Structure 1
Amino acid sequence: MKKIRIQRVSIFDIVITLVLAVVFIVLSVRGTGELQQMQTATDDYIRCETLARQLQSGSDYLVEQVRMYTATAQREYMDNYFEELNTTRRRETALEYFEENYSDTDAFTLLKSAMTASQNLSYTDRYAMRLVAQATLADSTSWPAEIQSVSLHESDLNMSDADKLRKAQQLVSNSQYQNMRDDVTSKIAESMDALIALTRSRQGGAAAVFTDVYRKIELCAAVLVALMLEICIMTRHLVVNPLKKYGESIQKGEIFPVIGAQELQELALTYNEVYRENQETQKLIRHEAEHDALTDALNRGSFEKILNIYENGEKPFAMIICDVDIFKHVNDTYGHATGDQILKKVAQLLTTTFRSIDYVCRIGGDEFAVIMVDVKQELDYTVRDKITAINDELSNPTDGLPAVSLSVGVAFTDRANPGESIFKDADKALYRVKQNGKHNCDFY
C-alpha cells in the first residue's frame, strides 16, 4: 500500500484552498460590482423617472396657472406662473440632468423635444396673459418683464376688454393648444419608454454577468465542499482512527499497529522500537530490583513480599530457612572471593533441586530461604530428601571449592501448635539443628 504523507496532502489542500479563496474574492468583487451596477441602473431609472415626471408636472403647472389667470384675472396666478418659469424651473432642472448624464440617448432626445414643445406653449401662455393684463391691469409698469415684452396684434389691441379676456381664454383652451400640450405628454411618455429600455438593457447585461459569477461561485463552493469532505475523510482514516488504535494499544500495554499516514507509521515504528527496548530495560531493572546481585536468587525485599502474599492466602506452603555452616571460617581461611563462589553454588543447588514454582531467596549474608508452594506437612520427607541431596554435593565438592554444609529449619502452614509466625517457627527448627551439630534438616 502506498504511504500517504499528511504533510504533502495538507500543503496541497492549503494551496487549493488559497486558490479558491482568491477566486472567491475576485468573483465576489466582480459580482458586487455587477450588483452595484444593477442597483445604480435602478436608482438612475427612479431618479430619471422622477425628473421626467417633474418636467411633466412643471409643464402642467404652467398650463394650470395660465388657465386660472385667464379665467379669473387674479394676479397671483400670473405671479405663480413666472415663479415656476424663472425660479423653480422644474422643467429646466430635469432637462439639465438628462443632458449631463444621458445626452447620447433617445430618452434625452425625446425629453428635449418635449421641452421644446412645452416652451412653444409658453409663447401662447404669455400672449394670453398679456391680453388679460391689457384688459385688467391699468398700470403696465407692474407687469412682469416677459409680459411687457409681448407685442399684441393691432386687431387684438382694438378689442374691448371683454373680447380680450375671451380670446385669452380661447388661446389656452382650444384644440391647437391642447394638441401641443398632448404632444408634450406624448414625448415625455416616449422618453420614459426609452429610459425603461435603456435601464433594462443595463440591468440585463449586469444580470448576465452576475449570473455567470454566481454559477462560478457555486462551482467553487462545490469544489470547496468536496475538498473539506476529502480532508475530513483522510483525517479520520489516516489520523483519527490510527490515534484511537494507538490509545487502545497504550491502555493494553501493546506495541502500536503500523497504520495511517506515513508520519504516524514512522511514529509507530519509533515507538515500537523504544517500547521493546524499554520492555527489556524494565525486565532488567525489575530483575535487578527483585534479585540478589551475587547469587541471582530473589532478594530480601522480594522474599518479604512473596511471604506476605502466601501468609494472607489460603494455599499451603512450607517455609525453609537455610544457613551455610562454617561460612565465616571459609571466608577467613580462603577469602571472600571463595566465599562468594560458595554462596553462588548454594543458590544454584537450591534453585535446581527445588521446583521452578518454588521461590529461592537470599535473605542475609549466608542465609537463604525457600518458599515451597502447594505442600503440606505429610510431604516433609520430600524436603528432607532435597536438603540431603544438596548437603551431599556441598560436602563432597568436585569443583575445587572447600566443603560446606547447610543447616535447615522447616515449618509447614498445617504444622501442629503454630507459633507467632511460620518464619519464626522455621527459625526455631533451624536453631535446634545448629545446637545439635549442624549439617542437618529439622521440622517445627
Structure 2
Amino acid sequence: MQTQEKKSNVRGVSVRQVNFGILLLSVLLYAALLALSFHAAKEYKDMKTATDLYISCQENAALVTAGSDYLTEQVRMFTFTLKPEYMENYFHEIHVDRRRELALEQLSGQAGDTAREYLSRALERSNQLTELEIYAMRLAAEGAGLDGLPQEVEDTELFPGHKRLSEEEKIELARDKVFGEEYQAKKALINDNVYAFIGDVMSTTHNRQGAAMSDLDQAMTTQRIACSLLLLMNIIIFVMIAFLIVKPLKVYIKCIKEDRRMEITGAYEFKYLALTYNDIYELNGVNQVLKQHQAEYDPLTGVLSRSCFEKVKELTRLKPRPIALLLIDTDIAGQVSRRYGYETGDKALKKVGRMLNEHFRASDFPARTDGDQFALIMDEVEPGRQANIVQKLKDINRQLSHPKDGLPPVSIRVGGAFSPEGFTEELYQRANAALNGVKRDGHGGCRFYKEGLELPADQL
C-alpha cells in the first residue's frame, strides 16, 4: 500500500511527454522550413524574372537605338549615293524588320504612365521624322530621275517651290534635310523621349529586381534562423537524453552490479521503474527467505523453526506493512509429557503444529519458538480481522480439547497484537502482555492487546 502511494506520488519530467513535445516541435519546424523553402523558391523565381526583364529591357533599348540609327543611315546613304537599294533597305526596316517598333512594343508592357507618355511623344515625332525622310528621298529620286519608287515615296507630293528646282538643287535640298540641323534636332528630341521611356522602364524593372532580392534575402535569413532552432532543438534533445536517460541508466547498472536497491533518479518513467524494481528486489528477498523457510521447518511440528522465524521478523521490518503477531502457549510440557510420556507429548506438539498450518493461510508464518510454545505472524492483516482470528483459535482449541485420535486433551493460551508497520519490539511486548493476561486467568483463552483497557481473555 505504501509502495503504491509512493508510485502515485512520483514526480519528474516524463520522457513520453517530452517525446511528444519534441515530435510536435520537429513537425512545426519542418513545416516552417518547407514553407520557407517554397517561399524562397518563389522569391528566387521572381528575382530571376525581374533580372530577365531587366536584361530584356537593355536588349530592347539597344534595338530601338540600332533601328533608329539604321533608318538614318539608309536615308542618308540614299540621298548621298542615289542608289535605290538604300531606299529599299529603309522601307524593309520600316515594314518588315520593324526592330524599333517591336522593341518599343515589348518595353511598353513594363511601362508605367510616365513612360507611356514618353513613348507616345517619341512615336509621334518619329512619324513626323519619317515623313521628312520620305520627302527627302522623293526630292533625291526626282533629282536623280529614278522611277519604280516605293509607294510611300511615289505618293509623296513635292511643294510647288521645290518642283521648280533643278535636279542638282533637289538633290542638294534632300541632303540638307537629312544632314541639316533641323533633322538632327528632331532626331535628338525623338531619342531623348525614347531614352526617357527606356530609363523609366529599366528603373521600374530594377526596382522589381531589388524588391525580389530583398524578399529572397529575408526568406533565406528566416530559413537560417529555423535551421539554427533545429540545431538548438537537437542540442536540447542530446542534453535531455544524457541527463534523463543515459545518466539514470548508468546509475541503475551500478546498482544492479552492486546488488542493491536502485536510486530514484531520472525521468518520471525511470523513477517509476526504479520503484518497481525495488519492489521486485524486496519481493525476491522475501521469496528467497520463503525458499529457505521450506528448508527450515521444525522437524517435529512442521512449522518454522525459531531461527527462520527471526528472519521473517526481520523481513517485516524492512518493508513495513500491517501484520498480526500471535504468541501461543500450550500445556503439553506440564500436562501431557510428564503424565503420558515424551512420545505422547511430541505427538501432541505435532498435532498443534499441523492444526496451525491447516487453520491459517499459506502466507502466514507459524513457528515453534521454544518447547511447547508457538508464535504466528499473519501478513497483511488489520484489526478488523480479529474476530475471524479468534474463531480460528476457538476451532483449534475445541479440536485439541476434545480429541478423537486417542491423544490426551490439550489447551492453548494465545496473546495477540496488531501493528500497521511490520514487526517491532513494541508489537512483541504487547502480544506478550496479552498472553500474560490470559495466563493469569488460569485457563485456555485468547486476548488481543488494547492499550489502556484490561479485557478478560476470550474463552476458547
Separation (CA, whole Å) in 2 of partners of 1:224 and 1:20 = 7
TM-score of the superposed pair, with normalisation by structure 1: 0.58
Match of 1:127 among 124, 131, 135: 135
Separation (CA, whole Å) in 2 of partners of 1:292 and 1:128 = 139
Matched, 1:25 2:34: yes
Instruction: Determine the structure 2 residue equivalent to 1:74.
Output: 83
Match of 1:118 among 105, 110, 126: 126
Instruction: Determine the structure 1 residue equivalent to 2:175.
Output: 169
TM-score of the superposed pair, with normalisation by structure 2: 0.56
1:145 deviates by 1.1
Instruction: Assess if the C-alpha contact under 8 Å between 1:59 and 1:118 holds in 2.
Output: no
Matched, 1:43 2:52: yes
Q: Secondary structure at the match of 2:179?
A: coil
Instruction: Determine the structure 1 residue equivalent to 2:154.
Output: 148
Instruction: Assess if the C-alpha contact under 8 Å between 1:24 and 1:217 holds in 2.
Output: yes
CA-atom RMSD in angstroms:
3.3
Instruction: Determine the structure 2 residue equivalent to 1:105.
Output: 113
Q: Deviations over 1:166-197 (max 9, x none)?
A: 22111110011011111222222222321233
In the alignment, residue 130 of structure 1 is paired with which amino acid?
A: R
| Structure 1 segments unaligned to the other structure (5+ residues) | 296-333, 342-444
In the alignment, residue 114 of structure 1 is paired with which amino acid?
A: A
Separation (CA, whole Å) in 2 of partners of 1:248 and 1:149 = 112
Instruction: Assess if the C-alpha contact under 8 Å between 2:143 and 2:171 holds in 1.
Output: yes
Q: Which runs of structure 2 are paired with 1:185-334 in the superposition (5 Å)?
A: 185-278=191-284, 281=287
Q: Deviations over 1:88-118 (max 9, x none)?
A: 111111222233443x332333233223322
1:233 deviates by 1.1
Task: Decide which moves more: 161-170 or 32-41.
Answer: 32-41
Compare CA radii of gyration and give the structure with the larger one: 1
In the alignment, residue 129 of structure 1 is paired with which amino acid?
A: M
Instruction: Assess if the C-alpha contact under 8 Å between 1:48 and 1:98 holds in 2.
Output: yes
Q: Secondary structure at the match of 1:190?
A: helix
Instruction: Assess if the C-alpha contact under 8 Å between 2:107 and 2:201 holds in 1.
Output: no
Separation (CA, whole Å) in 2 of partners of 1:116 and 1:247 = 94
Separation (CA, whole Å) in 1 of partners of 2:105 and 2:41 = 30
Separation (CA, whole Å) in 2 of partners of 1:11 and 1:145 = 85
1:237 deviates by 0.4
Instruction: Assess if the C-alpha contact under 8 Å between 1:98 and 1:108 holds in 2.
Output: no
Instruction: Assess if the C-alpha contact under 8 Å between 1:35 and 1:210 holds in 2.
Output: yes
Matched, 1:8 2:17: yes
Q: Deviations over 1:10-65 (max 9, x none)?
A: 22222223233333333443343334333322221221221122112111110011
Q: Secondary structure at the match of 1:259?
A: coil
1:74 deviates by 1.5
| Structure 2 segments unaligned to the other structure (5+ residues) | 1-9, 300-342, 351-460
Q: Deviations over 1:400-441 (max 9, x none)?
A: xxxxxxxxxxxxxxxxxxxxxxxxxxxxxxxxxxxxxxxxxx
Instruction: Assess if the C-alpha contact under 8 Å between 1:69 and 1:129 holds in 2.
Output: yes
Matched, 1:91 2:100: yes
In the alignment, residue 168 of structure 2 is paired with which amino acid?
A: A
CA shift in 2, pair 1:277/1:137, >3 Å: farther
